[in-house]
């Protein structure tokens, strides 16, 4: 811990010590202050007691049944909203929207009005995210980008190499990149983008799918040769819904 | 290397890591959720997750932090699924009480109860520092906080515990 040692006084010293009894006092303040020495002794004794109190008995170890493995890039997502049955109106509206989106996609393939085209446009804008790398994003960054109130990610199961909060369709969206078999794969978690059914789309050298997940959706975009079905299945298998 | 050898090596590596860190995993989980039974479930789930993603751990020197991070996430996931209420220290279940019923002497008992009663935000960094031997930097990394925030929480946690201990002595 670094503290400005030249400014050290009793208050600073005790505060630093209370936060970390292992704090090293480079200023020499404690050596000349009996009160601070007593305080240090008191805190060290407290920590000895704390450690003993925290060392609760541990039950006998039982190894769970470990499955055979075939999972890479698994993402576990817990949705923050309850899964409710759609009303007829919402269902009809969703189907209508999906139909409009589908027609527009077939018609122009370039319209930025559809969710698919917005996703592609965003990827085009953020090409830097598509790096082939073995360096994962830090846990702290991942937790900032995907707070537990939005989703829970199984970061350990796959190599997440990019995490950024982005805006799609005016809404904040966690933008992640994992390493696939053919290159980087983009995953956009869109908890507020309700889609009626799964759709697929293609970019210049990419292919993508948007999957309805509860009241939101997930977009997965990879290289043309990437087996997105496999990634898709891993994602869907790992979704745990609130009931 | 053939497939069965690779699988065997993988399992060997996993067993070795678990043998070293199981106690830390359980204690961390127990102090996070304050319930021995839930901690056992959380650790079992964490072990499964760790097994599936072992290949993501490139350096075994980082295994402790990696495993504790998995425990932390599994604990959060557990509570998110079940939406458990905040623990009321005056109205504990048997499994929760078991956390407090083991201390070999009264002084330790009081201290354990005081830790148990700390808010989650204060208890967790304290457990990581005192029990796991983590630096404030490492705690900040694991909890996704700035180091200053960790120092503040640790400072407040110890002040609260000192007050509790002093109250017990006076009473």
Please state, in angstroms and rounded to a whole number, the distance separating the CA atoms of residues A73 and A159.
7
Question: Residue B139 — pLDDT band, cuts 50, 70, 90?
Answer: very high
Render pLDDT for A191-218 as a digit per residue (tens, 0 to 9): 888 888 889 998 878 899 998 887 788 9
Render pLDDT for A155-182 as a digit per residue (tens, 0 to 9): 544 578 888 888 887 777 888 888 777 7
> CB-CB: which of A53, A64, A242 is closest to B44?
A64
Q: What is the pTM of this model?
A: 0.55
Please state, in angstroms and rounded to a whole number, the distance separating the CA atoms of residues A239 and A219.
14
Q: Which pLDDT score, from 0 to 100, does residue B124 have?
A: 96
- B69 vs chain A: nearest CA distance in angstroms? 8
Please state, in angstroms and rounded to a whole number, the distance separating the CA atoms of residues A196 and A211.
9
Please state, in angstroms and rounded to a whole number, the distance separating the CA atoms of residues A53 and A17.
20
Please state, in angstroms and rounded to a whole number, the distance separating the CA atoms of residues A87 and B149.
46
Q: Which pLDDT score, from 0 to 100, does residue B75 have?
A: 92
- A158 vs chain B: nearest CA distance in angstroms? 7
B50 pLDDT exceeds 50?
yes
Please state, in angstroms and rounded to a whole number, the distance separating the CA atoms of residues A178 and A132.
9
A146 pLDDT exceeds 90?
no
Render pLDDT for A57-78 as a digit per residue (tens, 0 to 9): 899 888 998 887 654 444 444 4
Q: Which pLDDT score, from 0 to 100, does residue A19 have?
A: 95
Which CATH code of 1.20.120.10, 1.10.3720.10, 1.10.1740.10, 2.40.10.170 fits the domain covering B1-87? 1.10.1740.10
Interface test with B, best of A14, A41, A51, A54 (most B CBs within 10 A): A54
- β-bridge mates for residue A189, sequence order: A218
Class of domain A77-240: alpha beta
Decide: B143 and B150 in contact? Cβ < 8 Å.
Answer: yes
Residue ranges per domain, chain B? 1-87, 103-171
* E runs forming strands in A108-203: 160-168, 171-179, 184-190, 199-202
Tokens 């990879």 correspond to A222
Is residue B144 less than 8 Å (CB to CB) from chain A?
Answer: yes
Please state, in angstroms and rounded to a whole number, the distance separating the CA atoms of residues B39 and A53.
17
DSSP B11: H
Among the ranges given (A27-41, A111-125, B137-151), the one the predictor scored with the smallest mean pLDDT:
A111-125
Residue B150: which residues within 8 A CB-CB, separation 6 or more?
A19, B125, B136, B139, B140, B143
Q: Which pLDDT score, from 0 to 100, does residue A8 have?
A: 81
**Half-sphere exposure of residue B76: CA atoms within 13 angstroms, side-chain side:** 22
Give the DSSP H/E element, type plus range, for residue A156: none
Q: Which ipTM value was assigned to this complex?
A: 0.87
Is residue B120 less than 8 Å (CB to CB) from chain A?
Answer: no
Structure tokens at A120: 């592609």
- Which candidate, A68, A159, A60, A71, places its Cα nearest to that of B11? A68
Please state, in angstroms and rounded to a whole number, the distance separating the CA atoms of residues B107 and A25.
30
At CB < 8 A and 24+ separation, what contacts does B4-11 make?
B10/B54, B10/B55, B11/A66
Q: A138 vs B50: CB contact, 8 Å cut-off? A: no
Q: Which pLDDT score, from 0 to 100, does residue B149 have?
A: 95
Which of the given ranges, A111-115, A150-154, B26-30, B82-86, has the highest pLDDT on average? Answer: B26-30
Question: Residue A149 — pLDDT band, cuts 50, 70, 90?
Answer: low
Please state, in angstroms and rounded to a whole number, the distance separating the CA atoms of residues B144 and A141.
7
- Which candidate, A105, A157, A54, A12, places its Cα nearest to that of B30? A54
Nearest CA in chain B to A81: B80
> CB-CB: which of B102, B130, B150 is closest to A50?
B130
The gap between the terminal CA atoms of chain B, to the nearest Å, is 67
Which CATH code of 1.10.10.10, 3.40.50.150, 3.40.50.300, 3.40.640.10 fits the domain covering B103-171? 1.10.10.10
Is residue B44 less than 8 Å (CB to CB) from chain A?
Answer: yes
> CB-CB: which of A64, A134, A144 is closest to B47?
A64
- β-bridge mates for residue A105, sequence order: none
Decide: A151 and A142 in contact? Cβ < 8 Å.
Answer: no
Decide: A189 and A150 in contact? Cβ < 8 Å.
Answer: yes
Decide: B131 and B107 in contact? Cβ < 8 Å.
Answer: no
Residue ranges per domain, chain A? 5-54, 77-240
Question: Residue B82 — pLDDT band, cuts 50, 70, 90?
Answer: low
Q: Which pLDDT score, from 0 to 100, does residue A102 have?
A: 45
Please state, in angstroms and rounded to a whole number, the distance separating the CA atoms of residues B158 and B165.
10
Transcribe A62-111 into DSSP letters.
-PPPPPP---SS---EE-SS---PPPHHHHHHHHHHHHHHHHHHHHTS--
């Amino acid at each position: 811990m670094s503290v400005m040692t030249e400014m050290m006084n009793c208050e600073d010293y005790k505060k630093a010590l209370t936060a970390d009894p292992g704090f090293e006092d480079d200023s020499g303040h404690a050596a000349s202050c009996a009160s601070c020495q007593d305080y240090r002794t008191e805190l060290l004794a407290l920590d000895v007691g704390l450690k003993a109190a925290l060392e609760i008995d541990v039950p006998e170890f039982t190894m769970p049944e470990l499955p055979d493995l075939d999972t890479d890039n698994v993402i576990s997502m817990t949705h923050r909203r309850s899964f409710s049955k759609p009303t007829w109106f919402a269902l009809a509206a969703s189907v209508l929207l999906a139909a409009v989106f589908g027609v527009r996609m077939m018609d122009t393939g370039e319209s930025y009005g559809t969710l698919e085209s917005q996703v592609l446009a965003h990827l085009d804008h953020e090409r830097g995210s598509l790096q082939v790398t073995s360096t994962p994003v830090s846990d702290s960054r991942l937790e900032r980008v995907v707070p537990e109130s939005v989703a829970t990610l199984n970061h350990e199961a796959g190599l997440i190499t990019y995490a950024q909060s982005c805006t799609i369709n005016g809404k904040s969206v966690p933008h992640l990149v994992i390493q696939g078999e053919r290159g980087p794969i983009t995953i956009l978690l869109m908890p507020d983008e309700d889609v009626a059914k799964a759709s697929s789309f293609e970019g210049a050298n990419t292919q993508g799918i948007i999957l309805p997940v509860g009241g939101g959706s997930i977009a997965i975009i990879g290289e043309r040769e990437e087996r997105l079905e496999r990634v898709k299945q891993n994602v869907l298998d790992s979704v745990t819904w609130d009931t | 290397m053939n497939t069965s050898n690779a699988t065997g090596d993988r399992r060997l590596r996993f067993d070795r890591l678990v043998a070293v860190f199981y106690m830390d995993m359980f204690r961390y989980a127990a102090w996070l959720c304050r319930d021995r039974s839930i901690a056992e479930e959380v650790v079992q789930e964490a072990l499964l997750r760790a097994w599936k993603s072992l290949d993501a751990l490139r350096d075994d020197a980082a295994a402790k932090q990696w495993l504790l991070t998995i425990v932390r996430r599994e604990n959060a996931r557990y509570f998110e699924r079940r939406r458990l209420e905040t623990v009321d220290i005056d109205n504990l279940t048997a499994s929760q009480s078991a956390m407090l019923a083991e201390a070999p002497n009264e002084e330790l008992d009081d201290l354990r109860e005081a830790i148990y009663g700390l808010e989650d935000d204060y208890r967790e960094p304290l457990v990581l520092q005192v029990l796991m031997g983590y630096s404030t930097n490492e705690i900040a990394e694991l909890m996704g906080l700035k180091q200053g925030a960790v120092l503040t929480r640790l400072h407040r946690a110890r002040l609260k515990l000192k007050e509790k201990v002093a109250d017990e002595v006076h009473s």
